Amino acid sequence: MDRFSWSNGLLEINETLVIQQRGVRLYDGDDKAKMDLGITLLSTHRLIWRDIKNHECCIAMPLSQIIFFEEQAAGIGKSAKIVIHLHPVPANKEPGPYQYSKYSYIKLSFKEHGQIEFYRRLTEEMTKKRWENTPVSQPIPTGTGSQTRAVGIVGIERKIEEKRKETDKNISETLNEQPLHHQTSARGSRYNSVIERGGMMALTEVYCLVNRARGMELLSPEDLVNACKMFESLKLPLRLRVFDSGVMVVQLQSHSEEEMIASALDNVSEKGSLTAEEFAKLLGLSVLLSKERLLLAEKMGHLCRDDSVEGLRFYPNLF
């Protein structure tokens, strides 16, 4: 185990992942290592092990350290293992979890099987020795174990935060660049036509349109919701609204609730009664948004309902 060094677990340039296997326990010779179960990754250059519970705990060893390896069959109450015999510790080895070991071999114990395929791929890599032909352009990070792991985790967190900020900015630009006001000439996009006709759009539709425009760089629903919540703080002409039913919509800041109620009342009064489907056809909105408008007018006491086997129908409230 003293051949392993601390690692951030990231592949270097020119290094390729070959196979990975969950549920692997490390043995320092015949003794269980102080690490718990983890994921073992085999790359073209290294053998990497990462703790499942503590992702900051990651170690790696160059494949050039391996002399030979052999299989150890499973027994009663024992998992199948791969025994890896190693060269002596090199003088320039970086710090790792073990400063010294009396053993010159380690064992990989496969608790969730997969040892046959892992053994086959390890055999291929040791035969090809691709690490000799394509050396990595950057060395494995140096420094103490805690420093190395901290830099790796902090770096990942920093990238995630930068990605989140970039995502929020892209959403804001995507929605803000679209001409939302009636006086702005539309380009014929479906987004503009829906906004101009109804003043609002279901968040599910916004999600589909944004991701369709982004191509392969898809946006998660959580990021979209968080970005929409920032409309007001960014002083954008849009707002996120949540109806009593839980339906979330994006609507114009200038959109008036009184206008929605008046529109619903006028149409229902003119037709005598309307279902959400019929109201949707009249306004060119989705059935979901049409129903929310009718429910809002009902809540304010302007409409009443008849909920029967034929469906939900709204009538003017004459009382």
Q: Which of 59-63, 82-86, 109-113 has the least mean pLDDT?
A: 109-113
Cα gap 211→209, rounded to integer Å: 6
- How far is Cα 105 from Cα 154, in angstroms, rounded to an integer? 33
What residue type is 281 in one-letter code?
Answer: K
pLDDT for res 188: 40
Query: What 8-state DSSP symbol labels residue 75?
Result: B
How much is the pLDDT for 148?
43
CA angle 9, 15, 21 (to 5 degrees): 55
94: number of Cβ within 10 Å = 18
- Which is it for strands 31-32 and 17-28: parallel, antiparallel or unpaired? antiparallel
Question: What's the mean pLDDT in 31-59?
Answer: 88
Domain 256-319 has CATH 3.40.50.150: no
Q: Are strands 31-32 and 238-242 parallel, antiparallel or unpaired?
A: unpaired
pTM above threshold 0.75:
no
Q: Would you kindly state where each structural domain of the chain is located, as residue ranges?
A: 5-143, 256-319
Picking from 274, 260, 286, 268, the residue whose alpha carbon sits closest to that of residue 193 is 286
Taking residue 306's Cβ as centre, other Cβ atoms within 10 Å add up to 12
Task: Report the CATH number of the 5-143 domain.
Answer: 2.30.29.30
For 91-140, how does the pLDDT look when each residue is reduced to its tens digit (9 = 90+)? 888 889 888 889 999 999 998 888 999 999 999 999 999 988 877 654 44
**Which pLDDT tens digit goes with each residue over 259-300?**
788 888 898 899 899 998 998 888 777 788 888 889 988 988
237, 180 in Cβ contact below 8 A?
yes
- Which of 121-130, 156-165, 261-270, 310-319 tops mean pLDDT? 121-130
Structure tokens at 52: 């499942």
pLDDT of res. 251: 81
pLDDT at position 42 over 90: yes
What pLDDT is stored for residue 155 in this prediction? 62
Q: Amino acid identity, residue 232?
A: E
Tens digits of residue pLDDT in 199-251: 778 888 888 888 887 776 788 888 888 888 888 888 888 888 888 778 888 88
Residue 228 to residue 305: CA distance in whole angstroms: 33
Q: Are 58 and 7 in contact (CB under 8 A)?
A: yes
Looking at residue 199, its pLDDT comes to 72
Asked if pLDDT for residue 256 goes beyond 90, the answer is no
CA atoms within 13 A on the CB side of 80: 11
24 in Cβ contact with 109 (< 8 Å): yes
CA angle at residue 176 from 175 to 179, to 5 degrees? 95
CA–CA separation, 123 and 61 (whole Å): 16
* Alpha carbons 162 and 156: distance in angstroms, whole number: 10
For residue 147, pLDDT over 70 is answered with no
Which band of pLDDT confidence, cut at 50, 70 and 90, is reported for residue 146?
Answer: very low
